[in-house]
Amino acid sequence: MIALDFDSVKTQPQTSGTIVWLCGWGMPDAIFDRTRELLPDFHHVSVDYSDADSPEKMLLLTEIAVKNFLYLD
């Protein structure tokens, strides 16, 4: 039988979902900081494109960031 701790479940924040911020090559991630502050009910995931040298690498980095988030959640 599994014992549930209902107090800890109630205190964990509930989120509305996840937003993946794709800032591109020329736009810093910090540009979305204020918007993230205005959306505290969401998880925010950013992708680091500093190693991307092609659109295919950008897609790969995006997929990796999302997979890493899903496995941590």
Q: What is the DSSP letter of 41?
A: T
Q: State the Cα–Cα distance between residues 10 and 12, nearest whole angstrom.
A: 6
- The confidence band for 8, taking pLDDT boundaries of 50, 70 and 90, is very low
Longest Cα separation, the chain: 54
Q: Where are the alpha helices (DSSP H) in the chain?
A: 6-11, 33-38, 55-72
Question: Do the beta carbons of residue 25 and residue 52 sit within 8 Å?
Answer: yes
- The confidence band for 60, taking pLDDT boundaries of 50, 70 and 90, is very high
Question: Do the beta carbons of residue 46 and residue 55 sit within 8 Å?
Answer: no
